[in-house]
Structure formats: C-alpha cells, structure tokens
Amino acid sequence: MRKAIFPGTFDPFTLGHLDILKRSLSMFDEIIVGVGVNENKNTMFNSKQRVDFIKKCLKNEPKVKVLSYSGLTIDFCKKVGANFIVRGIRNNGDFEFEKAIARTNRKLSKIETIFLLTSAKTSYISSSIVRELISNNGDYKLLVPDCLNLS
C-alpha cells in the first residue's frame, strides 16, 4: 500500500492545499492530511478547528484521513506507516526551503518527499494572506474551499 502524509499547519486550509491534495490522490492508496501542532506558532484556529475544517471539505473522499500531530513529521510518518511526504511548491523560495527538509528527512528516515508544483490558478494563495483578509474583514472566500466559513 502506498501511503503518504500531506503535512502542514493548514491555518487555514486553502484552495492551494486542496489542489495539491486532489492531484496527489492518483499517486497513493491513502493520504493522511497531517495537521501540525507547533506550540511556537501562533495560529488563528486551534488544531481541532483545523482538523474539523479539513474533514468537512474531504468527507466524501475515502482515500483521505485527517489527523493532528506534534513533533517531527518523519516520526508521524513512522507512526502511521507512511513512506512518502507530499509537499506543494509555489515558488523558488518554497523549493529551497522544502528541498533542505526533504534531504534531511531522507537521510534520517529513508522517507521520500514528492513535490508538486501548485497550479497557476492557486500559486498566489497562502494561509497568511487568508488570515490577513479574515483579520481585516476582507473577502477571503475566493481563496478557500466552498465548504469553509471561517468568519
């Protein structure tokens, strides 16, 4: 069974995240969306809310599970039996950052990272932009899946 983790903070889950997840479904038998809990990050939504948001959006997708985790992603992979990590790349900065993490993860665990380029229509979307819009009563709804109402 080919099982992957799609890890992230997902604060909040965006159309860019959904795009990467849907495009990766054909490559794996199961994908676990790993909602990272990092006490050093000041998130807008708590981990339970983030998990619930994603579950709501993916309730009709049997190949996807949504779980929260803390600690190293490779430890989470080992815990759930995943041999792959899926990551989305928007730009060169993302690539350089993710490349270093992927190489470290492979050295420490033999877990492979699969990079998918974001589609042109979602490449500008980031969770931080969505949070800024929400904080300032802006129209964020074009940047998140229809199933989310975050205000």
Query: What are the residue numbers of the active site?
Result: 17, 41, 90, 127
Identify the bridge partners of residue 80 per DSSP, sorted by sequence position.
Answer: none
Phi then psi dihedrals of residue 70, to 5 deg: -130, 160
The SS3 call for residue 126 is coil
The SS3 call for residue 61 is coil
Query: How many of the other CB atoms lie within 10 Å of CB of 128?
Result: 10
Using alpha carbons, list the distances in angstroms from residue 103 to 73, 95, 146: 13, 12, 35
Identify the bridge partners of residue 4 per DSSP, sorted by sequence position.
Answer: 31, 84
